[in-house]
Amino acid sequence: MSPAALIGVDWGSSNARAFLFGRDGSRLAERAAAIGIARHQGEACAGVLADWLRDWLDDYPGVPLLLCGMVGSRNGWRECAYLPTPAAPALLAGSLHAFDWRGRGVAIVPGVCHDNPLDGFSDVMRGEETQIAGLPAVCPQFDQLDWLLMPGTHCKWIRLRQGGIVELATYMTGEMYALLRQHSLLSGLIDDGGAWRVEPFLQGVEAAVAHPDWLHQLFGVRARGVRDAMPPDALAGWLSGLLIGYEIQAALARPADAPAKLCGIVGAPRLARCYAAALRHFSIETVAIDGDQAVAAGLWSLARQAGWV
């Protein structure tokens, strides 16, 4: 009798990670590949998945598949409608987009949208909701979190209440840094290839707090560089701190029942350290959370709640 109970896949825009779960929820195997939805779209996903996971699919023909992330987007395998906030894990589990594929049960976790009239648009996310479903299993302080922060190209700030998602705000901080670093008049002045230094980074955070005129402050990077007031490697940290400082201020200014005291950070270690240092400047403690562990735990938890395992 097969020891496997579920194949879980977190399939994003650039990469995909797959987990083979045993009947007790343990991870029997896992793998990753650069087969993101940006390169493989629509029904082409089926062929890509079949090639990538051929051995698992052949060895475990009756084991269901649960997928999350951009695979459920308009450009993904099957489009799944966003669930509006508040969105608890039980609601996600009850709203899986299920279908049959080659005689195998397949389901995709829907994304989440948040409509705040003050924003003027409905914010959206896909994949992060599955990580949130896994937090109770991987984060001992889960019940104490005021915010969950997921930094990256597009940084997600998620407010939780009783395990459910009640607010979502996205900031294009990482993409803005990359654009300025690679395609602006700042590009020739910045060197971000060295070791990260906290001092210039926090100076950038402090500049964001002191000066709300962010468009003017961005030119301050160039002014410091051309006048040799700051070396290229320090300018990279200063710019990063400036952008992150403005992001944190905007997120913390959103209406809340009480001031934020503890923020969970799900992200790459270096970026998580940057945000942790910046948040300490705002008197907010942080706890680091492993994103791969969270999404794996979330896939298993949602499968259990949906009765798939």
* Tens of pLDDT, residues 167-210: 999 999 999 999 999 999 998 898 887 778 899 999 999 999 99
Give the strands of the sheet with 97-101, arranged side by side.
27-33, 16-22, 4-11, 65-69, 104-108, 97-101
CB 108 within 8 A of CB 185: no
The mean pLDDT value of the chain amounts to 94
Checking if the pLDDT of 159 tops 80, the result is yes
Q: Which of 21-25, 239-243, 259-263, 296-300 comes out lowest in average pLDDT?
A: 259-263
Per-residue confidence (pLDDT) for residue 1, from 0 to 100: 45
Q: Domain coordinates of the chain in residue numbers?
A: 4-139+295-305
Non-local (6+) Cβ contacts of 143 within 8 A are: none
pLDDT tens across 66-86, in order? 999 999 999 999 999 999 999
The closest of 90, 155, 147, 78 to 123, measured between CA atoms, is: 155
Q: What sign does the CA torsion over 210, 216, 221, 223 have? A: negative
> In this predicted structure, what is the pLDDT of residue 299?
98
Q: Is 229 exposed, middle or buried (0-12, 13-18, 19+ CB in 10 A)?
A: exposed
Mean pLDDT, residues 214-227: 94
Is-contact 279 263, C-beta < 8 A? Answer: yes
Pairing, β 112-116 against β 83-84? parallel
Does the pLDDT at position 257 exceed 80? no
Highest mean pLDDT out of 159-163, 208-212, 231-235 = 208-212
Residue type, 268: A
Identify the pLDDT of residue 191. Answer: 84
Judged by average pLDDT, the poorest of 96-105, 224-233, 236-245, 251-260 is 251-260
**pTM exceeds cut of 0.75:** yes
CATH of 4-139+295-305, picked from 3.30.2290.10, 3.40.30.10, 3.30.70.1380, 3.30.420.300, is 3.30.420.300
Q: At what angle do helices 198-210 and 269-281 cross, to 10 degrees?
A: 50
